Amino acid sequence: MKKTPTLLAALLLALGLASTDTAAAADMAPIHFGAIGWESGALTTEVLRIVVEQGYGYPTDTLPGSTVSMEVALARNDLQVIAEEWAGRSPAWIKAEQAGQVYALGDTVKNAEEGWWVPAYVIKGDPARNLAPLAPDLRSVDDLKRYAHLFEDPEAPGKGRFLNSPSGWTSETVNSQKLKAYGLDGLYNNFRSGSGAALDAEIAAQIRLGKPVLFYYWSPTPLMGRYDLVRLEEPPFDPAAWATLTDASNPAPRGSRSSPARLSIGVSKAFHDQYPDLVGVFENVDLPIERLNKALARMSEARQPPREAALAFLRDNSEVWQAWLPSDRATRIAKWLNEGAR
C-alpha cells in the first residue's frame, strides 16, 4: 500500500499529467490573493494567479475585503498578494511598508492616473447628439462652485451630486477630504456608490442620456477607453497637502492633485522571503495601458468573468507576459493555454 502513491505519481509524470512542481505543491497552503473589486485589479489578479499556478505549480485562492482591510491583512500575512496596489496612497500601506511588513514590487501599469472628471459634452457640447455646451468655462475644481446647480442631486434638491468611490476605498477618504478642501462640501452631496460596478453603471447611464455628471475615476479602466472625458484641473501635487487628504480625521484638509500613481504588486514580507522566484516575476510585470484598457473594455462589454478575461488577455498578448518569465516557465503556460485551458 505504501508504494501506491509513488507508483501513481510516476505514472502521472510519465503521462505528462503531473510535474515535480505540482507534486511539491500538493501539500502547500494556497497563496492568498486579495479579491479586488474593481475591474483592472480583478483582471490583474487572475492573470497573476494563472502565472503562479501554471508556471510554478503553487496553489492560490482569493479572500475578499476593502482596500484598507486587505492592506492590513497583507501586513499580517493573512493575505500574501494584492495584485494592483496603488503604493504609498493609504496610511495603512505607508505604515506597513515603513515597518518592513509589506513590499511594493514593480511598476505594473505606466501612466495610470486618477482625478475628477466630467463628460466632454458638458464643456464642448456634442453636435452629433444635438447637445449644446452646458458649462463652457468649466476647467478646474474651483469652477465647480459656480456649477452645483448643473450637477443637481435628485435626492438632495439645491445641491449638486459628486459621485465618490465606494466606502472602504482609500480614494473615498481622499475625495471626501477634497470636497472640504475645495470648499465644495456645502454645495455638493458626497454620494458614495455601493460598489465599483454601481459607480460605473451610474456614470454610464448619465452619459447615455447626455446629462451632466461629476465623478471620481481612474485609469486603467474600460470607461476611459469608451467615452470622451475631461479631467478637471487641481492644484499641483503637494506631499504635505496630500497627507491631510488621506487622513479622514484631519479637520483642515488642503487641496492637491492626487499623488503620482505607481501601480505595483503588493506582497507580504513572508511571501517576499519565501518565494524569491515569484518576486522576480512580479518585479518584471508590465501591462501596457492601451492593451489593458482594451481588454477591460471587452471584459465589461461582454460581461466576462475576470478569469475568462485573463485567459483571453494571455492568449492575445503572449509577447507581453512571456517577457516577465524565464523561458521554461513561459513555455509551460503557453502549452497549458494551447491545450484549451479554462
Indicate which CATH number applies to the domain containing 83: 3.40.190.10
- 52 and 176 co-located in one domain: no
Q: Phi and psi at residue 259, in whole multiples of 5°? A: -60, 150
Burial, 307: exposed, middle or buried (Cβ in 10 Å; 0-12, 13-18, 19+)? middle
In this prediction, residue 37 carries a pLDDT of 86
- Tell me the pLDDT band of 9, cut-offs 50, 70 and 90: very low
Among the ranges given (3-12, 80-89, 124-133), the one the predictor scored with the smallest mean pLDDT: 3-12
Burial, 297: exposed, middle or buried (Cβ in 10 Å; 0-12, 13-18, 19+)? middle
Q: Report the distance separating Cα 205 and Cα 99, nearest Å.
A: 44
CA 301, chain centre distance (Å): 18
Give the end-to-end CA distance of the chain in Å, rounded to a whole number: 34
- 273 and 187 co-located in one domain: no
pLDDT at 286 over 70: yes
326 found inside a domain: yes
Place of cell 476647467: 139
204 found inside a domain: yes
198, 214, 245 - which closes a domain: 245
- Tell me the pLDDT band of 249, cut-offs 50, 70 and 90: very high
CATH number, residue 124? 3.40.190.100
- 333 and 209 co-located in one domain: no
253 found inside a domain: no
- 95 and 118 co-located in one domain: no
Q: Report the distance separating Cα 227 and Cα 123, nearest Å.
A: 14
Contact 296, 306 (CB under 8 A): no
Contact 88, 259 (CB under 8 A): yes
- 125 and 64 co-located in one domain: no
- 188 and 272 co-located in one domain: no
- Tell me the pLDDT band of 25, cut-offs 50, 70 and 90: low
255 found inside a domain: no
* This prediction's pTM: 0.73
Average pLDDT value for residue range 172-199: 94
- 70 and 165 co-located in one domain: no
- 134 and 165 co-located in one domain: yes
325 found inside a domain: yes
251 found inside a domain: no
pLDDT digits (tens, 9 = 90+) for 143-154: 999 999 999 999
In this prediction, residue 6 carries a pLDDT of 36
Range list of H helices, 36-193: 39-50, 56, 67-75, 91-98, 120-124, 170-181
Average pLDDT value for residue range 226-230: 91
The cell numbers describing 291, all together, are: 492593451
Q: Phi and psi at residue 103, in whole multiples of 5°? A: -130, 145
In this prediction, residue 19 carries a pLDDT of 43
- Tell me the pLDDT band of 26, cut-offs 50, 70 and 90: low
User: For the chain, what is the mean pLDDT?
Assistant: 90
Q: Phi and psi at residue 282, in whole multiples of 5°? A: -60, -35
Q: What per-residue string of b and e applies to 162-197 under the rule 16 or more CB within 10 Å gives b?
A: bbbbbebbbbbbbbbbbbbbbebeebbbbbbbeebe
- Tell me the pLDDT band of 224, cut-offs 50, 70 and 90: confident
Q: Which range of residues forms the domain containing residue 73?
A: 4-109+262-338
245, 270, 285 - which closes a domain: 245
Pick the residue with more confidence: 197 or 22?
A: 197
245, 276, 292 - which closes a domain: 245
- Tell me the pLDDT band of 163, cut-offs 50, 70 and 90: very high
252 found inside a domain: no
- 268 and 296 co-located in one domain: yes
Average pLDDT value for residue range 301-307: 93
- 65 and 102 co-located in one domain: yes
Containing 191, the helix (H) or strand (E) segment is strand 188-192
Average pLDDT value for residue range 250-272: 94
In this prediction, residue 59 carries a pLDDT of 98
Q: Phi and psi at residue 114, in whole multiples of 5°? A: -150, 155
- 184 and 219 co-located in one domain: yes
Pick the residue with more confidence: 45 or 24?
A: 45
- Tell me the pLDDT band of 248, cut-offs 50, 70 and 90: very high
Rounded (10°) angle between helices 327-338 and 306-316: 120
One-letter amino acid of 44 = T
254 found inside a domain: no
Among the ranges given (19-28, 41-50, 51-60, 111-120), the one the predictor scored with the smallest mean pLDDT: 19-28
Strand, coil or helix: 163: strand
The cell numbers describing 278, all together, are: 515569484
Contact 59, 89 (CB under 8 A): no
Average pLDDT value for residue range 227-237: 95
Count: domains in the chain: 2
- 207 and 127 co-located in one domain: yes
Contact 223, 217 (CB under 8 A): yes
- Beta-sheet strand order (sheet of 188-192): 188-192, 160-164, 214-219, 113-119, 229-231
